[in-house]
Amino acid sequence: MNTRPTHYSVVIIGGGQSGLSLSHCLQQRGIDHLVIEKRTLVHSWRTQRWDSFCLVTPNWQCNLPGWSYTGSDPHGFMVKDEINAWLAGFVEQVQAPAIEGVSVEKVSRDGEADRYAIDTSAGRYTADQVVVASGGYHKPVVPRMAERLPAGIVQYHSAQYRNPAQLPEGAVLVVGCGQSGAQIAEDLHLAGRKVYLATGNAPRCARFYRGKDVVDWLADMNYYDMPVTAHPLREGVRDNTNHYVTGRDGGRDIDLRRFATEGMELFGLMTGLDGDTLQFKPNLRANLDHADQIYNGINASIDKFIAANGIDAPAGGVYEPVWQPEGERSTLSLRASGITSVVWCIGFLPDFAWIDAPVFNGRGDPVHLRGVTGVAGLYFLGLPWLHTWGSGRFSGVARDAEFLAERIDEMRGRLQQGGEQAVGSLAVDVSSESRTFQD
């Protein structure tokens, strides 16, 4: 007989690194809670990564609460199996009170009982406070034009791609050049496949510059400690595409122009399909120039930091294009090019429709300050730039989880002392952009 309680002080929705990090922090405070995971704990690292996947950031940035990287290669980049082994150790260390294979169907406020109701595929649970730690990558983006591709074309989203052998013989169209698109295009290219790449305005950065990994330089410059409220783009930075670079084979730049000199065919933004013919915006040159501008801009900021601090480092330089497009091709015939498969690498959309609470903006994104919403007792964790660059990554989630655990503990104390009136006093005004929390 199942004797599991149905009410908890805190329910955490999502059993990835964010949810487990918070579970660790709550256990340290003796706060009862339940983690509800739709699939299995940290499943996405096993089920939504291709075979050659590796970290883009160096291993030393893997710093979950109570579980930092302790291997022999802190400046290397763990590959998929190593990442999953490291995460399995974290799962074992946390020993979170969790249920797996349970979908959350609705979260709502039960006003009469003054608690949250969490309706799941395994029945109803209730909680004084709820933390949504399911991330922001829920619905793979595949455009409706995909429905009109010829029936024989095999299609995958980046979350489904595993290796070149998975695809039928023939050329491959990769759509999107963010981190996943650029790395998958490289994976196919290195395997000898003919690749057509539809680019976008994704930025890129150097892997190494002036004697160190660029990540090390940015850490020295305190970039990773900058809160979103201090970023020049403020909350707009959350919409930015990640810079493409790779940790593969010890780490290197990804230069789409070099791929072009080796036979990869590059196009601008894909805009449509007319019968057998793909259509592209003639902006390939602009996309490549934009990526290089960001690349050189980051390096220039490192140059400035080195000069200002009198650091002895190897000489720097400016990237000069190794290839330029001759003309702008705006169409491509699937049949004539021999394309037999397409890999869509244009990201994911969040889906919080199951949360019945007035905490979302017009686009459906949660409005919060460091994960604390305007509805008392409802929080978010693990979102990109929730607080800093590392919020959705191994490097910053521990700080965010610790911060929320403190807020949760404060709320718990108020609830025990004063009930509903105290809850109302902890609601946060998230309408003012000037409001911020300090570390």
* CATH number for 22: 3.50.50.60
| 316 shares a domain with 223 | yes
Q: Which domain holds residue 182?
A: 139-348
Do 211 and 84 share a structural domain? no
- Tell me the chain's radius of gyration from C-alpha atoms: 23
Among 139, 141, 142, 114, smallest CA distance to 129 is for: 114
Instruction: Tell me whether residue 438 is in a domain.
Output: no
Using the 3D structure, point to which of 348, 366, 393 is the last residue of a domain. Answer: 348
Last residue of a domain, one of 348, 370, 392: 348
Query: Is 434 inside any structural domain?
Result: no
Number of domains in the chain: 2
The C-alpha torsion from 286 through 288 and 291 to 294, rounded to 10°, is -70
Residues 6+ apart with CB under 8 A from 164: 172, 187, 188, 191, 193
Does 294 map to a domain?
yes
Q: Which residue, 348, 380, 396, sits at the end of a domain?
A: 348
Q: Please tell me whether residues 176 and 312 are part of one structural domain.
A: yes
For helices 80-94 and 17-28, angle between their N-to-C axes, nearest 10 degrees: 30
- Tell me whether residue 416 is in a domain: yes
Residues 17 and 144 occupy one common structural domain: no
Q: Which residues pair with 218 in a beta bridge?
A: none
Same domain as 399, residue 324: no
- In eight-state DSSP terms, residue 320 is -
Identify whether 436 is part of a domain. no
> Do 43 and 94 belong together in one domain?
yes
Q: Are residues 98 and 240 in the same domain?
A: no
Q: What are phi and psi of 44, to 5 degrees?
A: -65, -30
- Give the number of other CB atoms < 10 A from CB of residue 195: 26
pLDDT in tens, the chain (439 residues): 457 889 999 999 999 999 999 999 999 999 999 999 999 999 999 999 999 999 999 999 999 999 999 999 999 999 999 999 999 999 999 999 999 999 999 999 987 778 999 999 999 999 999 999 998 888 999 999 999 999 999 999 999 999 999 999 999 999 999 999 999 999 999 999 999 999 999 999 999 999 999 999 999 999 999 999 999 999 989 888 899 999 999 999 999 999 999 999 999 999 999 999 999 999 999 999 999 999 999 999 999 999 999 999 999 999 999 999 998 999 999 999 999 999 999 999 999 999 999 999 998 999 999 999 999 999 999 999 999 999 999 999 999 999 999 999 999 999 888 755 545 444 555 554 333 333 4
Domain membership flag for residue 2: no
Residues 239 and 282 in one domain: yes
In-domain check, residue 431 = no
137 CB neighbour count, 10 Å cutoff: 19
Mark whether 119 and 167 lie in a shared domain: no
SS (H, E, C) the chain: CCCCCCEEEEEEECCCHHHHHHHHHHHHCCCCEEEEECCCCCCHHHHCCCCCCECCCCHHHCEECCEECCCCCCCCCCEHHHHHHHHHHHHHHHCCCEEECCCEEEEEEECCCCEEEEEECCEEEEEEEEEECCCCCCEECCCHHHHHCCCCCEEEECCCCCCHHHCCCCEEEEECCCHHHHHHHHHHHHCCCCEEEECCCCCECCCEECCEEHHHHHHHCCHHHCCHHHCCCHHHHHHCCCCECECHHHCECCCHHHHHHCCCEEECCEEEEECCEEEECCCHHHHHHHHHHHHHHHHHHHHHHHHHCCCCCCCCCCCCCCCCCCCCCCEEEHHHHCEEEEEECCCEECCCCCECCCCECCCCCECCECCECCCCCEEECCCCCCCCHHHHCCCCHHHHHHHHHHHHHHHHHHHHHHCHHHHHHCCCCCCCCCCCCCC
Cα(267)–Cα(171) distance, integer angstroms: 15
Say yes or no: 20 and 132 in one domain: yes
Is 435 within a domain? no
Task: For residues 15 and 93, state if they share a domain.
Answer: yes
In terms of domains, do 165 and 304 share one? Answer: yes
